[in-house]
Homo-oligomer: A and B are copies of this chain.
Amino acid sequence: MTVKPLIRKANYYETDQMGIIHHSNYIRWFEEARVDFMEQMGYGYDEATLKGIEFALTGLSCEYKSMVRFGETVSITAKITELTNARMYVSYEVRDVKTDELRTTGETKHCFWDSERKRPVSLKKALPDLYALFEVTMEKI
Kindly report how many copies of this chain are found in the complex they form together: 4
- Which of chain A's residues 5-34 have a Cβ closer than 8 Å to chain B? 11-13, 15-20, 22-25, 27-28, 31-32
Closest to A16 in B: B15
Contact across chains for B31 and A12 when beta carbons are under 8 A apart? yes
What is the interface residue range for chain A against chain B? 20 to 34
Contact across chains for B16 and A12 when beta carbons are under 8 A apart? yes
Contacts of A25 in B (CB 8 A): 24
CA distance A17 to B62 in the complex (A): 22
Beyond known contacts A17-B19, A17-B20: 5 more, CB 8 A cutoff = A24-B27, A35-B71, A57-B64, A59-B62, A61-B61
